[in-house]
Structure 1
């Protein structure tokens, strides 16, 4: 996984800055998160 993620709340997270909680959320709530790569 690379690039940046735009969360459904409009905030952006870059892969190197994602804490484990967001990585877990990405895996479990993928439908609400768009991966930008």
Structure 2
């Protein structure tokens, strides 16, 4: 049972991290766009 539980967990872990990195990239891009708009107003 333990072997079956641990191996899918490892498989799930990698895509989750990859997804988080992708989300961070999107967030940082949106922040840069917002910052450009704020700077443009000033």
Q: Which has the higher contact order (CA 8 A, sep 6+)?
A: 1
More helix by share: 2
Q: TM-score, normalised by structure 1?
A: 0.29
Q: TM-score, normalised by structure 2?
A: 0.27
